[in-house]
Amino acid sequence: MLNDLKILDTMSAMTRHAAQRHAVIAENIANADTPGYAAQDITPFQDIYQKALRDGSTMPTEAVKVFSAPNALAVSPNGNSVSLEQQMMLSTEVKATHDMALAVYKKSLDMMRMAVGKNL
């Protein structure tokens, strides 16, 4: 029974995904002045989760695919497609997702501790 705790697996996968996405965003910000650099992103967590549900598989533990982000904003004269404002907003969104996953993970563990009588 305790070997198959889907909520913990899902929240763990969500935190790993948020960390990977934050690394990609940080790379975009670091290359904001690099001529010809195309902003990148990774597959959204909801797509990965839906695929895992559809296939009946577990959440992947390795890195997800990095791709050039479609950019609705104009490309700068040097060919760079990074918008610092957009990247900062994405960074904030990723931090909120990471914080939420950690909170759900912690509350799940707290509920299990309470169920076995260890109110810590």
pLDDT for 16-41, tens place per residue? 999 999 999 999 999 999 999 989 99
pLDDT of residue 119: 63
| Nearest-angstrom CA–CA distance, 2 and 21 | 30
Confidence of residue 115 (pLDDT cuts 50, 70, 90): confident
Burial zone of 105 (CB within 10 Å; 0-12 exposed, 13-18 middle, 19+ buried)? middle
Mean pLDDT of 79-90: 91
Distances (CA, A) of 49 to 14, 88, 92: 9, 25, 21
Confidence of residue 71 (pLDDT cuts 50, 70, 90): low
